[in-house]
Amino acid sequence: MIKRLTIAIDGPVGSGKSTIAKLVAKKLGYLYIDTGAMYRCVALKAKKEDIPWTDEERLTDIARNSSIKLENTVEDGEPKCLVYLDGEDVSAAIREQDIGQGASVVGKISGVRRALVPLQREMAAAGGTVMEGRDIGSVVLPSADLKIFLNASVQERTRRRHLELTEKGEMISIEEVIREVTARDEQDSTRADSPLVKTNDAVEVDTTGMSIPEVVEKIISLAHERLDKS
């Protein structure tokens, strides 16, 4: 039986986690799991129900009682992750700028994390998985076969985030984006429960100045090295 790795990819906003993880999973024939989408679902549902993102008890209830499903597909030859919240396709809605900010706030709530982490581990249990987020290697999958910590300069991450938002038709200044990026860095790295951190056994890949194909090939090469040693 061919061993199938469990790959954890962590990193701050704008480091390219989602894009890179989807392409790595496609090349390896693995399942791609975007854990951040799950926290975005909680933030989106709270917004729809007029629940403040700081209401820990009600947000925990949302996380416990909502149906969140991820489905991998290919659109125009590119891998895509469809996200369903209580049976509704919210793939586009959860990518709105304010929902991303809300997810960062929601992700600090211990009850929400305790509700979602077991689901994430269950998804990855069979191996052949590329899971990305901010606490995958440190908390969700501490025994992952390969841990990657993607990073890039604040300037580069701001540029990528600004491009992503403007391509979606959102009118936002570069100054606003850099404030968002630095605020989310602060929230994610200082939260009491499962902060963003590079584990000692993770391979850091600085993507500043690297093309997407170059980053993907770097991780594929690392994966093959792990497979050869297994």
Quote the number of domains for the chain. Answer: 1
pLDDT digit string (tens) for 172-221? 899 999 999 999 899 889 988 889 999 999 999 999 999 999 999 999 99
Closest CA to 180 of 68, 75, 104: 104
Please report whether residue 41 resides in a domain. Answer: yes
Q: In terms of residue numbers, what domain contains 111?
A: 6-229
Q: Does any domain span residue 1?
A: no
Global confidence as pTM: 0.86
CATH number of the domain within which 157 lies: 3.40.50.300
Is position 172 within any domain? yes
Each of the 230 residues of the chain gets a pLDDT tens digit; together they read: 568 999 999 999 899 998 999 999 999 999 999 999 999 999 999 999 999 999 999 999 999 999 999 988 888 877 888 999 999 999 999 998 899 889 989 998 999 999 999 999 998 988 899 999 989 999 999 999 999 999 999 999 999 989 988 888 888 899 999 999 999 899 889 988 889 999 999 999 999 999 999 999 999 999 999 998 87
How are strands ordered across the β-sheet holding 203-206?
31-34, 129-133, 6-10, 146-151, 203-206
